[in-house]
Amino acid sequence: MCGIVGYMGSQDAVPVIMNGLKMLEYRGYDSAGICTMDSGDVEIRRSPGKLVNLERLLKEQPMRGTIGIGHTRWATHGKPTVANAHPHKGGSVVVVHNGIIENYLALKDELSEQGHIFISETDSEVISHLIDEKMDSTGSFEEAVQQALKMIQGAYALCILSKKDDKTLIVAKSGSPMVIGIKGNEYFIASDMPAIISNTREMIIMEDGEMAVFRNGGVKFSTIYGVEIAKEPRYIDWSPLKAEKNGYPNFMLKEIHEQPQAIKNVVAGRLLEDEGNVFLEELHLNDEELRSFERLCFVACGTSWHAALMGKYLIEEYCRIPVDVEIASEFRYRDPLVSGKTLVIPISQSGETADTLAALREAKNKNAHIVSICNVIDSSIARESDGVIYTRAGLEIGVASTKAFTTQLVALYLLTIRLGRANGSIDLKKGQEMIAALSELPAMVEKTLELDLQIEEIACEYLTSWDAIYLGRGISFPIALEGALKLKEISYIHADGYPAGEMKHGPIALIDRDMPVFILAPNDRHLVKVRSNMEEVITRGGKVVALCSEGDFETGKRADFTLHIPWAGEALSPVLFAVALQLLAYNFAILKGKDVDQPRNLAKSVTVE
């Protein structure tokens, strides 16, 4: 899930590519590299670590050329070293690659026997050598690429240059995203539109099995089997959002604080107060069609999967429709039981997560109707769905999902009302109540954000802990999972979330005086049971932080710390608990001196399996 950028035109390629890569760093920041072609001279610069290191290198060793390709890497095969950084060069051929070549070892053995010398541990390097080998036999860059691609198994988006055909740039795609921006005779290529939209709004979206050959100011599209195809650009009318910290020390804190507004955005124009309903035209489904689904199936990964779990609680409770929640990477490989009577709902902030996209395609092949919940407009998942509920969270830069998550929860709440009103399980009065509850939510999020100082104190107290446990029951269980994930990914403290009632079936063995246990105890139907679970922890010497509802002075009496979270009703309070747990993870990470926006080993958009 790397980011790739290519350019061919009349400008100096380096700044165009570097600007594009900056917009793609969310795809990975293990290393970065760039290659330009200038009158047959191939120049390559590569640097381990974040893009800023490559920028520094380019200042020391500038390069020029009006054709170029660049890459920002999230390491899969091979450590994040210079040798493993893209672009990779095999003979005369240079490539940048996003995806995974699954048969690279066999190809590498074969090519090594033919005399090719490999310098990296990557799967990607094999592509350059393979094309180089094919160039020797075919004498044609284009044919060599076609022949090589037919031998490759796995996923790829590629930009390819060859010293032997120095006026040509070739791109190809299968499984990994690729778009081409066109402005007169200039071509901007990228994994994602935001990388190039400041240059042009005329975009061509590449489909699997397609390639494009740029030469002499023109472009020719074909399949990888050489069948020419016509592709028309479409005008992209949305504006790129600017990544600015607006005075915050980092993007994560800014995005946490943007949640009141983000929640207002997700509901804006969608509430039909009098009808106790919501307006979700983008579903492209009327009441009768909504009623026709026998079941719903969410597919998602990571934080979005936690949102899906909360969606299950909401929809089963209020709409009485059976809901499955599937981890996308598992779903696609087990011949899932979906049919035309299943509404499949992929949830994804980026809309590019490879596993979620593949799950969507699998469900589509089985005739399921697809309505996705996405943040990024025009992303692959959004484009391939029959309907999309956009979460309107705005640009999320921090790798740890915050406002994307809470807006997903609110979008799911809206979907619940829509489904429940369609099948009659939510009546007019209940619908009106559910909508009214939303109006208070942004202010309550503001109030939750004011707990920051208390939360910082808690983080200070447990800063040396190696592990933490998060407990919740019912609709709070997915929030416990999400709280634990937030802590893990940005502070590197091991944390697990459990349904509070499961503790005694194993995890309670972990409890000792060094183990902080964060217990989600909202004022809902599970409160009495959660109090008992809390006692079980206290009895065994565990350290308890009780997250209770405002006005509840009972639950936290025997806890080491208590946080009082505003009460927004059973269905919406999880949003507020999620915000408190974001702040908790944030404070841990900052106190430990970690980079919260770009935590180690992670990437914002996971475009490999």
Out of 89, 134, 312, 604, which one is annotated catalytic?
Answer: 604
Phi and psi angles of residue 152, each rounded to the nearest 5 degrees, phi first: -90, 135
Residue 585: its H or E element? helix 573-591
Q: What is the dihedral of CA 90, 172, 200, 29, to 10 degrees?
A: -60
Residue 294 exposed, middle or buried by CB count within 10 Å (0-12, 13-18, 19+)? exposed
Phi and psi angles of residue 299, each rounded to the nearest 5 degrees, phi first: -125, 135
Rounded (10°) angle between helices 452-461 and 573-591: 50
Helices (H), 540-572: none
Please give the residue whose beta carbon sits closest to ligand M6R in the complex. Answer: 302
Rounded (10°) angle between helices 573-591 and 428-449: 20
Residue 539 exposed, middle or buried by CB count within 10 Å (0-12, 13-18, 19+)? exposed
Residues for the chain: how many in total? 609
> Which residues of this protein are in contact with ligand M6R, per CB under 6 A?
301-304, 348-350, 353, 356, 399-401, 485, 489, 605-606
One-letter amino acid at 331 equals F
Cis peptide before 87 (omega within 30 of 0): yes
Hey, which residues does 212 pair with through a beta bridge?
171, 221
263: left (phi over 0), alpha (psi -120 to 50) or beta: alpha
Count other C-beta atoms under 10 Å from residue 169's C-beta: 26
CB of 350 to ligand M6R, least distance (A): 3
**Residue whose C-alpha is closest to residue 174's, from 230, 127, 234, 122:** 127
Hey, which residues does 369 pair with through a beta bridge?
343
Pairing mode, strands 202-205 and 186-190: unpaired
Contact 4, 99 (CB under 8 A): no
Phi and psi angles of residue 309, each rounded to the nearest 5 degrees, phi first: -60, -40
One-letter amino acid at 347 equals I
Structure tokens at 423: 């099948």
Hey, which residues does 6 pair with through a beta bridge?
69, 189
- Cα atoms found within 13 Å of the Cα of residue 104, Cβ hemisphere only: 21
CB of 401 to ligand M6R, least distance (A): 4
Count other C-beta atoms under 10 Å from residue 70's C-beta: 33
Which DSSP string do the residues of 413-436 spell out, in sequence order?
Answer: HHHHHHHHHHHTSS-HHHHHHHHH
312 is catalytic: no
2 is catalytic: yes
d(Cα 534, Cα 127) in Å, to the nearest integer?
Answer: 56
Contact 14, 64 (CB under 8 A): yes
Show the 3-state SS of 480-507.
HHHHHHHHHHHHCCEEEEEEHHHHHHCH
**Residue whose C-alpha is closest to residue 303's, from 563, 32, 578, 542:** 578
Residue positions annotated with a catalytic role: 2, 604
